[in-house]
Structure 1
């Protein structure tokens, strides 16, 4: 299972690289065409904006997985183990609530966006705004798993250190599920 999770996040990393590369290439090409040839590719402007949206939302999932979002690390680092675990539980519950709001809001907005097409490509705007469903579901899955591990007492010291921002104490993976062979 750990191997599948690692492969999934490597796949997301590759998707992020492809999106960023595609976005940079399209913008660069459009600048060259406009400056040198007084023309441009209209599709590239629209697609680069779409790529940026997906890059941001997928990046949020990867950052959440790696404990890289902003937090009150100075405060949490000053607490003992029990205080850190309590704060971790509170944080994960708040994150689950925010993910739920994002998911429901995106779900309610999706039918409206499905009926609208992008001005140049004609793609359904659901492809752009629908990324909220993926992001909310993945962040909820990550936080739910962390919360379950915390409540059942299977949380590791590495995970608690990662939550407290003590990156120098961490080396991958953060946890090793019981029964998984390396």
Structure 2
């Protein structure tokens, strides 16, 4: 299986998971609102489950943004430097980001250990599910960024958007 196929599968899977989570969130919250105002009852667990889903949507969206090079970036400097220096900057910023993601994972491991056995008040779902979302996201984002950086430096592919759209700037 090629990396392009793997990334394509990853993007489709994440988009599907986000869509399902958003539909569930809206469904739970809407149902709860209708039950509260129309029938004077409600789903005690709906807001808690919606909160869990929201956290997962945010982190899954972050992974998707990394795969698609969609995160915000300041490229005013790198657009005007030679290609080899662009690659060096990309490697350095990727290394720095992976280092930060490593710190995030270490911090999340501490939080998971501190919160073992604690569950949500309405659902009894472990609170650590919040932290697992962040950990999975940090690990996947680091792996994707490392692959993209090495691929860009070695082959010129999978680079950031600023590496490919120099022609647009020269015509404007």
**Global fold match (TM > 0.5):** yes
Summarize deviations over 1:24-52 as a string: whole Å, max 9, x none: 11111112222222221111110000000
Of residues 104, 107, 131, the one that matches 2:106 is 104
Question: Paired residue for 1:56?
Answer: 58
- TM-score scaled by length of structure 1: 0.82
Question: Paired residue for 1:13?
Answer: 15
Question: d(CA) in 2 for partners of 1:135 and 1:79?
Answer: 32
Moved over 3 A (4+): 163-166
Taking only aligned residues, the RMSD between alpha carbons, in angstroms, comes to 2.2
- TM-score scaled by length of structure 2: 0.86
Superposed, 1:24-103 pairs within 5 Å as 24-103=26-105
For structure 1, the 5+ residue unaligned runs are: 170-182
- Tell me if structure 1 keeps the 8 A contact 2:119–2:126: yes
Question: Paired residue for 1:121?
Answer: 123
3-state DSSP class of the match of 1:84? helix
Question: d(CA) in 1 for partners of 2:40 and 2:21?
Answer: 26
Residues paired across the two proteins, number:
166
Distance apart, 1:76 and its partner CA: 2.7
Question: Paired residue for 1:154?
Answer: 155
